Amino acid sequence: MYRIISTFLMLSFIGCAAPNTELRDQPQVERLRIQISKARNAIAETRRAIAEARGAPYVVELYVRLAELLGDEARYHYQVAYEREQRSGKTLHVPQVRFLKEQAIGIYTEVLAKNPGTPLAPRILFNMGQEQRELGNYKKMRAALERLVSEHPNSSLRYEALLILGDDRFDRSKLEEAGKYYAQMLTGNLNRMTGLGHYKYAWVMVNQANCKAALTHFRDAIISAEKWFGRKNATVDESATQSNLDVRREALVDLVYCYTQEHKDKGVLKYLRGLAYSRGAYVAALERLADRLGTLDAAAGALKAGRELLILGTDSPKRVDDARMLYAAIQKTKDFSQVGRDAELISRAFLRQIRRPTGADETRERLETELETVLANVGILAQKNMNKLKKGTAARNQLAVEIAKAYQLHVRAFPDSSQKGAILGNLVDVLVESGDVFAAGRSAIQLAEHLAKGTDQDNAWYDALVNFQKTLRGESTRMQRVVARAGLRKAGRSLLASALAPERARKVKFAVAQTDYDEGRHRVAIDRLNAIAFEYPGTLEGNTAVNLVLDSFKIANDYLGLIRAGHRFMAASSPVQASIKAEIRPIVKSAEQFQLDELALAAAGVDGGDVTGDLEKFAEAYAGTALGERAVINALLAARASGDSKTLYRLAAEFEEKYPKSKQLSAIRSTIARTAASRYEFDQAVKYFATAAAVPGAQRVPLFIAAGRLKEQLGDISGAKSTFKAAFQAADTTAAKNSAIQPLAKLFERQGQYRSVVTTIGPLGDEADPESLAYLGIAQIRVGQTDEGEATLQRVLDGGSTVSTEARSRAHFGQAEVFLKALESFDPGEDLETIQELVTLLEVTEQAYLKAAREGDPTYTAASFGRLAHVSKKTAARMRTIKIPTGTDPEMASALKKGFAQRADVLDKQATEALAACAEQGWIHYNFNPLVRACLKGEVPKANAVRFDVLKPRSTTQAPADLEALRVRLSKNSEDLDALRAIGVSFIKAGDYHGARLVFGGAAQIGGGPIESNLLGIASYRAGDITGGLDAFARAAAGGLTTGRDNLAKALEEQGLPNAAADAKKRYPGGQSGGMRL
Amino acid sequence: MMNTLSKVFGFACLMVGCTGLNVDRLSLTDPRLPVDARRWVADAEDAVVISRAKRDEAGRLLKAVQSSLEKTLSAPAFDGPQGTTAKLKREQMALSRLDAATAALSLADAELGLSKARLRLIYAETAMRQDIAVYNMPPLQAAVDQALSAVVANRDAHRRAREAELKAADEWWSAWQSLAAKKGDTRPFWTQAD
């Protein structure tokens, strides 16, 4: 059993191991057999149909169809035999074929005999002709077809019959006869056979050595076929009916022979291109042309044909031959004008074959070797040719461009070639010749990398460097610049590694450093340029490097680095030339200014830490110079901005010490003073205002005034007076004098020192402005200089709308006081007319007070109402005691008395109302000045109505501790209400009410609420500013603060105003909790 | 009473997420934000972007300096008189540059942290001002203060590092000057790769 199995396996192995034999195409025979079966079935079916259709009109058609089916079956049998004989060309003996065909011919003959007029006659004759031809009965074939041609001139089969007849004659070399048949094909309208007729006729002409006529018919064949296919209703399968022959293509290819016979290669490409209907046809013609020109040894034409072929031809091994032909043509014609393009075409044709994956290695290697040689040779030959041309000419440059392309192809295709060095060397040369210095540089780099160490390599590096330098000097793209710079650095570095001559080394180093500079690689550029500057001082490169170093720092915005580098170059020990040192000095100086500005800018923007540190160091480095001065000022401003008062005062002292003659001294002092004031550092502020004012200048007066006001607010009245006086003394213009005198006059007025006001302002004379005159006029009236006072106040009113409200109020009030004096001193006696004058004077006085009240200044409005009450009350009393002139009619006297009494009553009422209006000013405007307080008590002001509270002396000047953090906050944000409140409360706790009053005054200005108002009230009240205190309490109470209301009530009680206190509680309901109690 | 209130507030804070530093981002297209608020928020967001760009730039510079240091350290010595000193000074300069670049990166990092903390604070302030959300502000303010302190410390450190770098540069160029003047071999400087 096992033996059987092993034998079977053995046989299987033997069978499997046997070589595969190519089997016949069995399915083809099968297909033919099926066709035969189908034909037979059809024949049988047709015979049945004929049997059943005797006498029918279509029976002829059935017979023809039967004959055709027999012919078809015969053809299938022949094809089966052909297939069985494995498609060999030997003669086949197939009896069925002859039998079937003869059957068919018999049917055709019978049908034609019985039905001579049948419309199927042309078809029958044509079929008969075909069958006879296939049976080899050519004579009978000709008879049938000639009968068709002669009897049926309009049949479409006539042209095909002529073609067969022509071909038959042609094959028997009976050209004349063949020509006649073909010529008959050309008659009549254009049809599908016209082109073919021309084509066939052309070949007859060719064989008769008449190329001229042949060329014409080939062309007509193409044109006719083109026309036929181009007509409107052309169909696609018509080409198949034309005997499977593409006349357009065949004619184009076949005319090449006659064209070259007639015209050689002249205009051949244009001629062919003009007639070609497709690229394929054109390429086929070109292939024929290339062969033909090769035969004719026409190199120039072959060159053109070869190029065209390589451009248009499809990928094929034939292209390699074309490429060889092109190469040979180039060599022969020595036409290198397109050598780059030609090399590319050749290279492409070869490489396509080389890269074919199915190609044999041997073939590939052979082709590679051949291509390498071809490319190298065309380049070298072309270069030799180029060297014969004159240097610098356009032709030479153009040729160089082409040669470079050829060499570049070589380098790309054969990177490991043994000729690489030589080719790269040539490539660099031709690229330089062509003017493409960028590519020359790149190729030189490649060459240098390829070469071994030595002179040749150094020269290659140097070539690269020089060409990249030229690239960078000329116009180039961004990519080229980047590559050129990198290449230059690489070449330079390699060159510098070898022993270069000092002169060359210097230039190379500078070139390398310059690329860094140009490329914006500042960090590296600075290092390399610095190195050159110190290594080669006094040379062009060294001097330029110095400037470029500074410029690099500047571009990088590194002024600190620039300054340091500048000083290094300018140092005594520096080898840099003196002229260069002088040249860079202004640059460094300018950089120092910039650096200072940068530092100042940086210091202004920082959020904390040692903001002035850099500036102070800078100032220290430039101490005693204008730059140092600016640095200190900037540091000072930075310290102020950051709220660092300790540093601020230290820097101010430093500035005073180091720059005592600085023009900025006054400004610095006043800045410090204002800063101190804004931080509520009163003593510092007063001190700096005074020292700032000591410096001559236009700012002296305002600085004195600011100092005086601060002193006044702090209760230092005598100090304030002397400061205001100093301001007046310092004033050298009318405006300055007026602005200096007014605060002093106001202070005197508040102190009740009216004579001092007169003696101070009086000497100003005409220089006094209306504001100053308003003080003077009131003072003059108070000291009894009534007429002068009246005149002075009239000058105020003459000032018109430019005069302030307060000044106008003063003027009207002063004039009312003058009228009042006149009224009080007027004695009407017992004369009715004088009594009438008294009444008029009273009315004038009343109107004057009312006018003053209407001006709207709270102080003088209240005073006017108060005085109006006084006038009304006093005049009412006079009205009641007025004596009626003696001798007056009793009835009249009675009426007058009654009238005076009624007027007195009105005046009493007016007095009451005026007093109430005066008191009401406190509640309306929160103005509780001494006069209003008197009004609230019900006291009519009999004498000077305008009175002021006097501040108490400041109880302490000791500043509260631990305020620095709060002050820093204030420095950063002057509207930091929390900080302000905390500082103010600290002052109150420390007992410095004057200071607290200023702090809360500031809080009120920036929009403080009831809490702050209440605290302002406490501070003001305790400092002796009762009016201010009550004002602030009232505002706090009006804001809803219960404590504020209570404090107001308490203060009013303390001032002897219990009713007002009670009224306050009624007016202000309170509600908001919190706040400090008085 | 106060105890109860604080508990309620704490609970409310927990509900809206206001106890930590988590703050929801505000959209500039939020219709509830007035123009001023949008501008304010946008400025703060811009500050973060700018700070991040600066930090990236500082990072790139540090890498470049590190690479340069490695090459400097591996470069051969200068031949000739003063050659050893020059090599030493060059290395010291490269190291000081690394210090300065590291300090610059730290500063940039701190500034980025500050800008982020500020942005959170501004989101929170704006949200509260516009009744969009409620946050516990003190921790956010404290975070800003802490970030600011870091910036101040880093700025001072950077300033010192920069000064040291400039000093080292002075010394290196002085050594180079001597080396060149005495015709020492300066090639190692030039043949070093970029």
Decide if B123 touches A, using CB distance below 8 A. Answer: no
Q: Which pLDDT does position A975 carry in this prediction?
A: 81
Q: What is the mean pLDDT of residues A681-686?
A: 84
Q: What is the mean pLDDT of residues A684-711?
A: 84
Between CA A1039 and CA A62 the distance in angstroms is: 127
pLDDT band at B20 (very low <50, low <70, confident <90, very high): low
Which residues in A have their CB inside 8 Å of a CB on B?
489, 492-493, 496-497, 509, 512, 521, 523-524, 528, 530-531, 534-535, 560-561, 564, 568, 573-575, 606-610, 613-614
Which residues in chain A have Cβ-Cβ distances shorter than 8 Å to B186? 531, 535
Task: Tell whether the torsion through CA atoms of A1043, A1049, A1055 and A1056 is positive or negative.
Answer: negative
In this prediction, residues A1055-1067 reach a mean pLDDT of 90
Residue A7: band (very low, low, confident or very high) from pLDDT cuts 50, 70, 90:
very low
Pairwise pLDDT comparison (A437 vs A922), residue with the higher score? A437
Report yes or no: A59 and A53 within 8 Å, Cβ to Cβ: yes
Q: What is the mean pLDDT of chain B?
A: 88
Report, in angstroms and rounded to the nearest whole number, the Rg of chain B calculated over CA atoms.
26
Tell me the CA distances in angstroms from A120 to A64, A66, A148, A155, B96, one per residue in order.
Answer: 8, 13, 11, 10, 111
Q: Is the pLDDT of residue A243 over 80?
A: no
pLDDT at residue B15 greater than cutoff 50: no
Q: Which residues share a beta bridge with A1041? A: A1072
B53 and A CB contact within 8 Å: no
Checking if the pLDDT of A382 tops 60, the result is yes
Min distance A624 CA to chain B CA atoms (Å)? 23
Which chain A residues have a beta carbon less than 8 Å from that of B147? none
Q: How far is CA A962 from CA A677, A959, A990, A992, A1000, in A?
A: 17, 9, 12, 15, 19
Q: Over pLDDT 90: what percentage of chain A? A: 44
Q: Give me the pLDDT at residue A443, please.
A: 96
- Residue that wins the pLDDT comparison between A883 and A564: A564
Whether residue B148 lies within 8 A of chain A, CB to CB, comes out as yes
pLDDT confidence of residue A653:
87
Q: Which residue from B148, B180, B190 is facing A607, i.e. has the nearest CB?
A: B148
Instruction: Please provide the average confidence, as pLDDT, over all residues in chain A.
Output: 87
Q: Where are the alpha helices (DSSP H) in A117-193?
A: 121-135, 138-151, 157-171, 175-185
Res. B122: pLDDT tops 80:
yes
Statement: residue B87 has pLDDT above 80:
yes
Q: Please give the residue of chain A at the shortest CA–CA distance from B163.
A: A560
Output the six-digit token pair for A110: 């019978």
Size of interface A-B (CB pairs under 8 A): 64
Q: Which among B114, B153, B194 has CB closest to A524? A: B194
Find the angle CA(A760)-CA(A763)-CA(A767) to the nearest 5 degrees.
110
Q: Write the CA distances from A992 to A48, A620, A1001, integer angstroms.
A: 145, 40, 14
pLDDT tens-digit map of A838-875 = 888 888 888 888 888 888 888 889 889 998 998 888 88
Q: SS3 helix, strand, coil % of chain A, rounded to 5?
A: 75, 0, 25
- Tokens found for residue A298: 């026409």
**Beta carbons of B156 and A610 less than 8 Å apart:** yes
What is the Cα–Cα distance from A539 to A221, expressed in whole angstroms? 83
Average pLDDT over residues A941-949: 79
**Cα-based angle A727, A728, A732 (whole degrees, multiple of 5):** 100
Please, are residues A386 and A399 in contact by the beta-carbon 8 Å criterion? yes
Identify the sign of the CA torsion B119, B120, B123, B124.
negative
Give me the residues paired with residue A1072 across strands: A1041
Q: Which residues of A touch B192 (CB under 8 A)?
A: 493
Rounded distance between C-alpha atoms, residue A561 and residue A381, angstroms: 59
Over residues A30-59, the pLDDT tens digits come to: 888 888 889 889 998 899 888 888 778 888
**Residue-level pLDDT at A89:** 65
∠A176-A182-A185 over CA atoms, to 5°? Answer: 150
For range A299-316, the mean pLDDT: 90
3-state secondary structure of A1072: strand
Residues with Cβ < 8 Å from A134, sequence gap 6 or more?
A74, A75, A101
Interchain CB distance below 8 Å, A613 and B159: yes
CA dist list (Å): A954 to A706, A987, A993, A1019: 18, 12, 7, 11
Tell me the C-alpha to C-alpha distance, in Å, between residue A305 and each of A284, A312, A348: 12, 10, 16
> Taking 90 as the threshold, does the pLDDT of residue A606 lie above it?
no
In B, minimum Cα distance to A536 occurs at B180
What's the pLDDT band for A945 if we cut at 50, 70, 90?
A: low
| Model confidence at A629: pLDDT above 50 | yes
| pLDDT for res B154 | 93
Using the Cβ of B153 and the Cβ atoms of chain A, whether some distance falls under 8 Å is answered with: yes
The pLDDT of residue A976 is 85
Mutate to test the interface with A, among B67, B190, B192 (most CBs of A within 10 A): B190
Neighbours of A914 (CB within 10 A): 27
User: Per-residue pLDDT tens for A149-187?
Assistant: 999 988 889 999 999 999 999 999 999 999 999 999 998
Does A535 contact B190 at a Cβ distance shorter than 8 Å? no
| Contact criterion met (CB < 8 Å) for B155 and A606 | yes
Question: Considering only CB atoms, which chain A residues are within 8 Å of B148?
Answer: 607-608
- A675-685 in b/e form (b: 16+ CB < 10 A) is bbbebbbbebb
Say yes or no to pLDDT of A274 above 90: yes
Q: At what angle do helices A540-555 and A559-570 cross, to 10 degrees?
A: 160
Q: Which residues in A lie closer than 8 A to residue B191 (C-beta atoms)?
A: 493, 496-497
Give chain B positions within 8 Å (CB) of A497: 187, 191
pTM of the model: 0.60
Contact predicate A476/A484, CB 8 Å: yes
pLDDT tens string A799-848: 887 888 889 998 999 989 888 888 888 877 777 778 888 888 888 888 88
CB atoms B162 and A607 under 8 Å: no
Cβ(A1021)–Cβ(A1048) below 8 Å = no
CB contact under 8 A, B162 and A608: no
With b meaning 16 or more CB within 10 Å and e meaning fewer, what string describes A261-297?
beeebeebbebbeebbbeeebbbbbbbbbbbbbbeee
CA distance A608 to chain B (A): 6
Tell me which DSSP letter residue A1045 carries. H
Are residues B156 and A574, on separate chains, in Cβ contact within 8 Å? no
Burial class (CB in 10 A: 0-12, 13-18, 19+), A119: exposed
Maximum average pLDDT range among A193-207, A235-249, A948-962: A193-207
Contacts of B151 in chain A (CB under 8 A): 607-609
- Dump pLDDT digits (tens) for A983-1040: 999 999 888 899 999 999 988 888 888 999 999 999 999 999 999 999 999 999 998 9
Pairwise CA distance, residues A588 & A576, whole Å: 15
| Mean pLDDT on B14-33 | 74
In angstroms, the separation between the Cα of residue B132 and the nearest Cα of chain A is: 26
Whether the CB-CB separation of B26 and B132 falls below 8 Å is answered with yes
CA distances from A176 to A149, A207, A221, A479, A541 (A): 18, 10, 19, 73, 94
The amino acid sitting at B173 is: W
- CB B190 to CB A530 under 8 A? no
Q: Report the complex ipTM.
A: 0.85
Cα distance between residue A807 and residue A746, in whole Å: 12
Residue with tokens 């094929």: A316
B14 burial type by CB count under 10 A (0-12 exposed, 13-18 middle, 19+ buried): exposed
| C-beta of residue A1036 within 8 angstroms of C-beta of residue A1049 | no
Cβ separation A531–B186 shorter than 8 A: yes
Query: Under a CB-based contact definition with an 8 Å cutoff, are residues A689 and A682 in contact?
Result: no
User: Which of A1050, A1041, A1044, A1046 shows the shortest CA–CA distance to A1032?
Assistant: A1044
